[in-house]
Amino acid sequence: MPIEFKKNRALFRDEVSVEEAEALLEWLQTRPTAKVDLSACSHLHTANLQVLMTAKAGVSNWPKNAELRSWLEPALKSGE
């Protein structure tokens, strides 16, 4: 599973595809305080990204991939 949903935290792993976006959206809709852990993520499809941005989801861990992190950090931090 590219996204592992825990109680109040979602763990992203490797490449997260467009198919995951709907589930992510539903999950976040019911958990306004949920955080995402992106440390193990190497890429996420734009659809997932815009769900995170719209939800202003908090990020508990940034990607280890520095290049990806440099993209995501400004976009997701501004939502906080």
Partner 1 sequence: MSPVPPNPLLEQFISESRDLLEASGKKLMQLEDAPDDQVILNELFRCVHTLKGNSGLFTFPEMTRVLHAGEDLLGMVRSGQAIYSRELADRLLDAMDYVGLLCGEIEATDGIDASRALESQHLADALRKLMPNLIPNQDAAAVRDGDSPVVANAQTSPADNPSADLKQFAAIPAVARKSALERCRQGDQLHWISYRPQRECFFHGDDPLNSARQTPGLIWGRILAPGPLPPLSELDTYSCLLGFDLLTNAPREELDQYYRYLPDQVEIIAVPAQWLEKGHGDADGASKALSRAIPSGSFSEDDEAAFNWILAAQRQILLLDDRPAWHAGRLKAIAEVLANLSQAVGETSTRSDIQTALAEALSTGHNTLLLAWLDAWIVTRKTIQPVAGLSWARGTDGIMAAAKTDSNLDVGSATAGDPSKAPADEGVRFGRRAEDSLTGTRSLKVDQTKIDRLMNLIGELVVEKNALPYLAQRAEVQFGSRELSREIKGQYSVINRIADEMQDAIMQVRMMAVSFVFQRFPRLVRDTSRKLGKEVQLVLEGEQTEADKNIIESLADPLIHIVRNSLDHGLESPEVRLAAGKPATGKLTIRAAQEADRVVIEIVDDGKGIDPAVIKQKAYEKGIIDEATLERISDQEAINLIFAAGLSTAAVISDLSGRGVGMDVVRSAVEKINGTVVIESELGKGTSIRISLPLSMAVTQVMVIESDGQLFGVPMDHVIETVRVTRDSIHAIKQTKTAVLRGRIVPLKSLNTLLGIAAIPRLNSDDELAVLLVQAGNAELGLIVDGFQETMGVIQKPFSGFLTGLSAYSGSALMGDGSVLMILNIREIV
Classify residue 14 by burial, with Cβ atoms within 10 Å: 0-12, 13-18, 19+: exposed
Tokens 């990607």 sit at which residue?
63
List the one residue from 4, 8, 29, 77 that touches partner 1 (CB under 8 A).
Answer: 29
Stretch that binds partner 1, among 2-10, 18-26, 33-41 (CB under 8 A): 18-26
Applying the rule CB under 8 A, the residues between 61 and 80 that interact with partner 1 are 67-68, 71-72, 74-75
Total residues interacting with partner 1, rule: CB under 8 A: 23
55 binds partner 1 (CB under 8 A): yes
CB 74, min distance to partner 1, A: 6
For the CA atoms of 62, 32, 46, 5, the dihedral, rounded to the nearest 10 degrees, stands at 70
Residue type, 49: L
